[in-house]
Chain A
Amino acid sequence: MIRLIIAEDNEVVRQSLGRMLGAEPGIVMVASATTGTEVLKILRSGITADIVLADMNMPEMDGIELTAYLKTEYPAVKVIILTMHSKQVFLERARNAGALGYVLKHAEMNELIGAVRLVADGGSYFL
């Protein structure tokens, strides 16, 4: 089972993603958060996760910062950045921070689910 945490400040997106991904076989939603800081709190509370699906733009601590933190504090936790920005520069920034996936929000859901499974299996997904 892939243990997944969703970090997304937009409530609609957070709930819809949680419902959609939680319904996927082999994927279990362990928690959801609205900021990067909240993700760190969750992990520090003892909840373990395989993958954090993080929105790039969040208040307090955005997805890229969170990736950098997790890289040092929880290297086993893999990060996929979910964003509306298709610019290559953002992708590079995410990759440099240690993210293993970069999925655009307008991509089909199959692509997102595929990317989650690929990263969970040790791969990486950058478009």
Chain B
Amino acid sequence: MRKEPEDMVRKAADWYNFLFNAIDQGFCIIELVYDSNGLAVDYRFLEVNVIFEQQTGLKDVIGKTGSELTPGTEQYWIKDFERVVRTGEPVRVENYHGSTGRWYVAHAARIGDENSRQVAILFDDITEQKSDAIRMAGTETSMRERENWLKGQQQAFKTAISGGHLAESLEPLVVTIAVQTKGDARSAFYLIPPDGKGLHLVAGMDEAYAEAISGFEVGSESLACGLAMHTGEPVITPDVEREPRWKPFLEIARKHQYRACWSFPVRTNDGPVLGTLAMYFKTPREPLEREMEMAEVLAHSAAIIISHNTELRERRRAEAALREAELQYRVQLESEVAERTAELKNSKELLQATLDSNPEMIQVFRAVRDRQGKITDFVWILNNASSEHAYGDVIGKSLLENNPGVLAAGIFDNLVQVTETGIPRQYEMRYVNEQFDGWFYQSVVKLDDGVATNTINITERKKAEERLMQVEAGKKREIFLVSLSTLEEERYRISESLHNGIGQILYGIKINFSTLRQQIPVQEFNEIKAYINTLLTDAIMETRRVSHELMPATLEEFGLKSAIDDICDQLSDNTRFTCHVRGLDTRMEKYLELAVYRTVQELMTNVVRHASATIATIDIIHKQAEIRITVTDNGMGMEAGKKHKPGIGLASIRSKIKLLDGEIRIDSEKSRGTTVSITIPIHQ
């Protein structure tokens, strides 16, 4: 019993080996290779029959994987085998194997239970049979594929034209690629953003991937899309693991599960490279001709969409800019209008306020004309506050009705003349009528068919002028009186000099002459004669002194300093005078020199005659704008409150100094001398 099954097994094995090698169909057993995620990614050959080599052209395959033997094996092969393993249902597939360039019809069935990963495959090379059919079907497939591409392109264009986002518009192309490759390929479009340096994903692939390769370098040293972007040529990497340039990016590739990466430039016919199309495959793979064609067609479509989108975006930007500009313009216009309106209002208010703040009366009149055009009246059209205060609310009312006095005063004629000729007029006038009684000044200028007038009440000014004239008259009278009294004093002084000086001396001579009689002794005669001679000399001296006092020749010829030095010399007798004169080297105006000279002369004469002083000092200082005279004596002084008979001139000195706008100050105490200080301003 035990042999039976053994026999059966052996017989079966023999039968199997016989069949295995006798059939003229290729046979193989493979085991699927899964990745860590449990996805079938490859397969390994476990057994093959003799015909296998004939059918596939592959040798020594046992233990090797599909990717090792035929990189780029279509994903659909693995998918079909994986389905058999997963479901346990055998399949019949008729597929093209790119790496061997042959068509196969294959029957695949799982070997073993549900945990088995082994698949038995019986296959036949049907390339020969297929060739005609393939040629036919190839055209048909090509037609169908192109139809699919066209559909994808149409959808993409439709989305783009209807204003969809770029990603939205490119999405149908990505889908088309996925459909075309039966899901083997994932694809993506990359662009260089206007402000960016590297590539940026716009459609296809997921966000994590987009983030991982954001800003991907473009250049001759770069790879994949970075290189395609730079060269404008497709960059096909059948297996990233085998391409040294990919080394730094393998981690990304692994993480996102692709081995093959094909990059195609996206460009319009003659235009620059706008971006790239990338296709990713889970297994190593080289593109077929039609896949290259598809990539080219779809990349071209993408280029058109991208250009369109760029144009659209630029147009939108331009439109937005235009709208923004329009908006800004409108806002600005509105703001300016508001501003101008406010300004206008302000300036109107400002004008009215300015007019109202003016104490003068400001009025504007419009002429009223009869049929012949003759001005018959004026109508008020503007009043400032001051005018309104005087005339009340007279806007729109007749000038002649409200102020008939303007006719008689000649004001009306003035207004008419200014209105007709345009020549402004100004005049002062006394007006005693209606609301006004006094003097006014009026300025009239033409304004439209009428006049603007500015009227100032100058009654107060006129009164002030009158008062000023009175003051002037008073001052003139004062000057006259001072001159007169100065003259009188001068005469008195001359009279005194004649009376007390020369007159007395001459009287003395007369007396002595009368004593000269013939009988007097000779000695006495001689004595009297000599005395008379002395007296005559005295008389001559006195005459000279008086003459000199009256008209100081020194002043005229040598100036103030010399003249004052002269007075000092002449008057120094019982009183010793010391003169200090500073700043008088340049000549001053004659009247001023004379005034200073007379003042000093009178002060010194007073000292000599009344002070009984032994020493007196005269200081005269001429500074830029004034002359200061100080006369100090050590005489008996004046007692405060006691009425002194004023010396000749003290009163007249005061009067004169007052007329010269000067100041005089007298400091004196009994027995302590007197100081008289005088300041005379020099009017330039």
Contact = CB atoms under 8 A, between A and B. Distances in A.
Q: Do A and B come from one complex?
A: yes
Interface of A: 10, 12-13, 15-17, 19-20, 23, 57, 84, 105-106, 108-110
Contacts of A57: 499-500
Interface in B503-522: 503-505, 507-508, 510-512, 514-515
Contacts of A19: 512, 515
B646 to A, nearest CB: 16
B507 A109 contact: no
A32 B536 CA distance: 24
Given A84-B499, A106-B510, A10 B515 contact: no
B574 to A, nearest CB: 14
A110 B510 CA distance: 12
Contacts of A109: 510-511, 514-515
B499 to A, nearest CB: 6
Contact of A12 (B499, B504, B515): B504
A14 B511 CA distance: 10
Contacts of B499: 57, 84
Contacts of B515: 19-20, 23, 109
Contacts of A84: 499, 503, 507
B657 interface: no
B508 A13 contact: yes
Contacts of B505: 12
Contacts of B277: none
Given A12-B535, A84-B499, A84-B503, A20 B508 contact: no
Which residue of A10, A16, A23, A57 has the most chain B CB atoms within 10 A of its CB atom? A16
Interface of B: 499-500, 503-505, 507-508, 510-512, 514-515, 531, 535, 538
B507 A20 contact: no
Nearest to A109: B514
A15 B532 CA distance: 12
B511 A16 contact: yes
Nearest to B503: A84
Given A12-B538, A19-B512, A84-B503, 13 more contacts: A10-B507, A10-B508, A12-B507, A13-B507, A13-B511, A15-B508, A16-B511, A16-B512, A20-B512, A20-B515, A57-B500, A105-B503, A106-B507
A-side interface mostly: helix
Contacts of B507: 10, 12-13, 16, 84, 105-106
B302 to A, nearest CB: 141
24 contacts: A10-B504, A10-B507, A10-B508, A12-B505, A12-B508, A12-B535, A13-B504, A13-B507, A15-B508, A16-B512, A16-B531, A17-B511, A19-B512, A19-B515, A20-B511, A20-B512, A20-B514, A57-B500, A84-B503, A84-B507, A105-B503, A106-B507, A108-B514, A109-B514
Contacts of B503: 84, 105
Nearest to A23: B515
A98 B112 CA distance: 192
Contacts of B531: 16
Contacts of B508: 10, 12-13, 15-16
A125 B511 CA distance: 20
A57 B503 CA distance: 13
Cβ-closest 8 pairs across A and B: A109-B514, A12-B508, A16-B511, A10-B504, A16-B508, A105-B507, A20-B515, A13-B508
B495 to A, nearest CB: 10
Contacts of B511: 13, 16-17, 20, 109
A84 B501 CA distance: 12
A16 B509 CA distance: 8
A110 B500 CA distance: 23
Contact of B500 (A10, A23, A106): A10
Contacts of B510: 106, 109
A106 B512 CA distance: 13
Nearest to B514: A109
A108 B507 CA distance: 10
Nearest to A21: B511
Nearest to B508: A12
A120 to B, nearest CB: 20
A115 B628 CA distance: 56
A15 to B, nearest CB: 8
A99 B327 CA distance: 125
Which residue of B503, B505, B511, B538 has the most chain A CB atoms within 10 A of its CB atom? B511
A81 B399 CA distance: 88
A19 B531 CA distance: 12
